[in-house]
Chain A
Amino acid sequence: MIYKRVIPCLLLDEDSLVKTKNFAKPNYIGDPMNAVRIFNDKEVDELIILDINCTRNRREPNYGLLKDIVSEAFMPIAYGGGIRNLEQIKKIVNLGIEKIILNNHVLKDVKLIQDAADFLGSSSVVVAIDIKKSMFGGYKIYDHVTRKTSSKNVFDHINEVIEKGAGELFINSVDNDGIMSGYDLHFLEQVLKITNVPVIVSGGAGNYEDLAKALSAGASGAAAGSIFVYVGKHNAVMINYPEFNVLKNLKKDYGLQ
């Protein structure tokens, strides 16, 4: 039987690995290659790599770094950051990255999802949606380029991107990012209710139990940054990932496989 994924989410800023809080205050973690090598040795289920300032700074994806990463990483890798056309997608996939993550560009132009799905197949096209709680309750899409919430209804957007061919959703909570107090499971449940594609949840995991809670709530993957790059009360930087059997037993405790 399939088992659910626990996914380190690495944030790149140019050539550096960073970790944010609430999508701000990037803290320098170290050399991305070092982290990738450790995660490869620890046989992680999957890696998500996001170049967080690529779109805002109008840069091309860092193809050189991505090429180095895939030569050391023998697990599935999803990459997001700065993707706005099919040519870039072809280039990224040719390096050996099998999943691409679309986010900011498809807030304005959902057609790229369709083009990507026609080329890659839906299963390799992930759409990321960053969400922020509104002051009046409810959820808004957060646009990390303008640093404002979008006027587009988040659930309409989700329906639209799936209709265009998104094979997987990656939902990330701006409010919970780096806070380590648990995922926004309420939002996750709302998304699961209206979708039938796999959903990866991100933002807020503070311990392994949080991962299991999200998976048990119905997420197909639980992604996290802080818990895999920090250890201890004072958040000392140390790349880490649980042993396979630790995760297996924890999932069992939550009635998962």
Chain B
Amino acid sequence: MTTILDYGMGNVGSVRNMIKRMNFDCIISSSRADIEASDKLIIPGVGSFDSAVVKLQDLGMYEIIQKKAQDPGAYILGICLGMQLLFNNSEEGVLPGLGLINGAVRKFNEKEINRRIPHIGWNYVKEDPRSRLFAGCEEAQRFYFVHSYYATTEDPDCIKCVSNYGIDFVSAVEKNNVLGVQFHPEKSHRYGKALLKNFLEL
């Protein structure tokens, strides 16, 4: 079963819409029993880091998600803020992330990148050919981004894709069964569909 985690941080509807359009089943839920029973868990997210952490903790999700990450039969996909939550911490807040991937989330420095912030719009990706999310994808893919913060990691093996916005930043990670994308596949036309399909078929 695929579950889209509904923790009050927006955007569950569009992820569901795209999954349904591809004729896959999924549910939207915030119940611990549903999350525990799922073999695919999608953590979407729009909003600020700390408010997301508080909501996940209020729902008792930290332990469940961390346990799921240890289960080799289960897969987790974080989208946008959902990907940032997989890391240890963020400059946007003071509360701890899920800590499933070693690294910190930082804010784009306007002076350093010489670009307007937030990074809003379509951008290209340079994917690692070994990536599972991008397997079999077409050339010159583009994805929709909306964010002011980006993840950094000292664990280069988990970086599966980078994009550039004045600087190169990590736009997708995969570490065992924990995966994350900074962009919004659910808003990225056929490129997003192909990526979500890869995840759903893992």
Listed in ascending order, the chain A residues whose CB lies under 8 Å from chain B are: 1-5, 40, 43, 45-46, 70-71, 74-77, 93-99, 118-124, 167-168, 196-198, 220-221
| Structural contact, A96 and B110, CB atoms closer than 8 A | no
| Structural contact, B122 and A2, CB atoms closer than 8 A | yes
Q: Which of B92-136 contact A (CB under 8 A)?
A: 110, 115-124
CA distance A129 to B115 in the complex (A): 23
Query: Which residue of A is nearest B119, CB measured?
Result: A2
Residues of chain B contacted by A2 (CB below 8 angstroms) = 115, 119, 121-123, 145, 164-165
Distance of B140 from chain A, by nearest CB (Å): 9
Distance of B27 from chain A, by nearest CB (Å): 15
Residues of chain B contacted by A95 (CB below 8 angstroms) = 13
18 additional contacts, CB 8 Å, given A3-B123, A120-B47? A40-B189, A43-B190, A74-B17, A74-B21, A77-B187, A96-B11, A96-B14, A96-B17, A97-B14, A98-B10, A98-B184, A99-B146, A118-B48, A120-B46, A196-B110, A196-B116, A198-B121, A220-B116
Please encode chain B, from 1 to 26, with 1 for each CB lying within 8 Å of some chain A CB and 0 for all others.
00000000011111111100100000
* Chain B interface helix/strand/loop/mixed: mixed
Check: B197 CB closer than 8 A to any chain A CB. Answer: no
| Structural contact, B148 and A123, CB atoms closer than 8 A | yes
CA distance A4 to B193 in the complex (A): 22
Central interface residue in B13, B16, B145, by most chain A CB within 10 Å: B13
Central interface residue in B18, B48, B146, by most chain A CB within 10 Å: B146
Residues of chain A contacted by B190 (CB below 8 angstroms) = 43
Residues of chain A contacted by B145 (CB below 8 angstroms) = 2
Check: B81 CB closer than 8 A to any chain A CB. Answer: yes
Residues of chain A contacted by B146 (CB below 8 angstroms) = 76, 98-99, 123-124
CA distance A216 to B21 in the complex (A): 37
With beta carbons under 8 angstroms apart, the residue of A1, A4, A97, A119 that contacts B164 is A1
| Structural contact, B17 and A76, CB atoms closer than 8 A | no
CA distance A158 to B151 in the complex (A): 31
Residues of chain A contacted by B13 (CB below 8 angstroms) = 70, 94-97
CA distance A99 to B51 in the complex (A): 18
With beta carbons under 8 angstroms apart, the residue of A121, A197, A221 that contacts B46 is A121
Residues of chain A contacted by B193 (CB below 8 angstroms) = 74
Residues of chain B contacted by A168 (CB below 8 angstroms) = 118, 120
Central interface residue in A3, A5, A95, A123, by most chain B CB within 10 Å: A123
With beta carbons under 8 angstroms apart, the residue of A45, A46, A70 that contacts B14 is A70
